[in-house]
Amino acid sequence: MKILVVEDNPQVAETIMDYLELSGHRMDCAYHGQAALQLLAEQRFDVIIMDVMMPRLDGLSTVARLREQGIPTPVLFLTARDSLNDKLAGFKAGGDDYLVKPFAMEELEVRLQALALRGPRCDMGALSVGELTLDPASSRATRAGVELKLGKIPFQILTLLVRRSPHLVSRQEVLDTVWGDEEPDSDALRSHIYALRNALDKPFPTPMLETLHGQGYRLVSA
């Protein structure tokens, strides 16, 4: 399995990674939610181990955000929070399993294998706004039946806008969702918005992407 460990305690993360690497799994690590979202935008994993209490972006918010982005990778929450309400909150946020610390490494590995065998979530189908249809799993989008040719980052921006439509998405939320901690200069975001507008609106009579200067972006039905 290819496993992402999201854990803000380096000692805990190292212990988990050492054990699972010895079992033959490929590992990567992020120390907070923003870094995890950045990795998940760039790579595919079989399963994610997610701590709950973390700085910058906690585990529940991270999982809710990756589900909003259409990332279907199974998530196992690993946390000391053991109340029923904590567990329910984890599943509501989009988690698939919940293991309370302290735990046995053998149990952790068995649960991860079960999640990997189950595969990506199947409840995250195509999204639509007006004549626009978007499938996060296949990274394909069509408008009025015409496939849109979009790069990775414009597609991520469009996915966020579709999920929020018709509400306004602030410029900062776009930056946080797509780039995480590695915030680009203002020209980079502007160029990706320009590319998105060219693919989404230019070939069609009615624009869907609105820019509210100084506020953010919004997607409306054509």
**How confident is the model over 20-55, as pLDDT tens digits?**
999 999 999 999 999 999 898 888 899 999 999 998
> Stretch 162-181: mean pLDDT, rounded?
86
Answer yes or no: is pLDDT of 63 > 90. Answer: yes
Nearest in space to 32 (alpha carbons), one of 14, 4, 7: 7
Q: State mean pLDDT over 177-191.
A: 83
Provide CB contacts within 8 A for 93, sequence distance 6+: 59, 60, 61, 63, 64, 67
Banded model confidence at residue 125, pLDDT cuts 50, 70, 90: low
Ramachandran angles phi, psi of 156, nearest 5°: -65, -40
Cis, bond preceding 74 (omega within 30 deg of 0): no
The pLDDT value recorded for residue 10 is 95
Rounded to whole angstroms, how far apart are CA atoms 136 and 156? 9
Tell me the pTM.
0.62
